[in-house]
Amino acid sequence: MLIAATIVAAAVPLQAQTLPVPENVVQLTASATVEVPQDLLSFVMTVTREGNDPALIQTQLKAALDQALADARKAAKPGELDVRTGNFSVGPRYGREGRITGWVGTAELLLEGTDFTRVSQAAGRVPNMTVAGASFRLSRDKREQAEREAQSQAVARFRTRAGELAKGFGFNGYSLREVSVHAQEPGVPPRPRMMAMEAKAASADAPMPVEAGKAAVMVNVSGSVQLR
């Protein structure tokens, strides 16, 4: 008991202490945005089967997916066109009374790469599948490159603004207290010029018509500086 009382007594003065309020400290933020062309194209190819036998539907989907994979792999090239499978599911279909009236299954094949011509041609040649969606985005290398450029610009603006504030308040300069850097890529809607219903309208072997847009990569720098 004596030890506990001693500890509490010693802790009270520490809790009562207050840290000095910092003076001549300014909070500020700066940002920079770099727009770069989207360099990665993705297609989602799907095939759907319906019936009363889920096992048969699964077998049909597997056969269609195997054939599509074999065809797409002929044009595959790492980075330029990567091929992989996506969702594969078979589930019940219900009627108005909540009873199972049949089964429906879906399988996906994903095509993605930086060679737009190779990717779009592969999408146009995939047998027994239709385009469910397409999108553009930045590859990892492209995004990191854009982030470095935007970060350099944001840091330069932060330093310039800090110097201007110091001068405006009558100080000779400043020192950095704390800073945080945050990068983000605002969402950009996909811009392939086609619709899923029109994907196979012209020719089974025709490449899908696509047109990439630009992505904006933004970097924010925020923190506080001590005016001196």
**Could you tell me which residues are beta bridge partners of residue 32?**
219
Chain-centre distance of CA 105, in angstroms?
Answer: 28
* Phi, psi of 187, rounded to the nearest 5 degrees: -65, 130
Taking the C-alpha atoms of residue 105 and residue 51, their distance in angstroms, rounded to an integer, is 9
> What is the model's pLDDT at position 186?
57
> What is the model's pLDDT at position 197?
36
Cα separations in angstroms, 189 against 133, 137, 147, 199, 212: 12, 9, 20, 19, 11
> What is the model's pLDDT at position 23?
86
How does pLDDT run along the chain (228 residues), one tens digit per residue?
Answer: 333 433 344 444 555 566 666 789 999 999 999 999 999 999 999 999 999 999 999 999 999 999 999 999 999 999 999 999 999 999 999 998 889 999 999 999 999 999 999 999 999 999 889 999 999 999 999 999 999 999 999 999 999 999 999 999 999 999 999 999 999 865 544 444 443 334 444 445 567 777 888 999 999 999 999 999
> Nearest to residue 216, comparing CAs of 32, 30, 34, 39?
34
Are 2 and 95 in contact by the 8 Å Cβ rule? The answer is no
Taking the C-alpha atoms of residue 111 and residue 88, their distance in angstroms, rounded to an integer, is 16
> What is the model's pLDDT at position 49?
96
Taking the C-alpha atoms of residue 13 and residue 4, their distance in angstroms, rounded to an integer, is 16
**Could you tell me which residues are beta bridge partners of residue 88?**
107
Report helix, strand or coil for 192.
Answer: coil
The overall pTM is greater than 0.85: no
Which sign does the torsion angle of CA 148, 149, 150, 152 carry? positive
Structure letter (DSSP) for residue 197: G
Cα separations in angstroms, 17 against 7, 10, 12, 54: 16, 12, 9, 72
User: 144: how many CB neighbours lie within 10 A of its CB?
Assistant: 13
Are 30 and 218 in contact by the 8 Å Cβ rule? The answer is no
Both tokens of residue 204?
């089974």
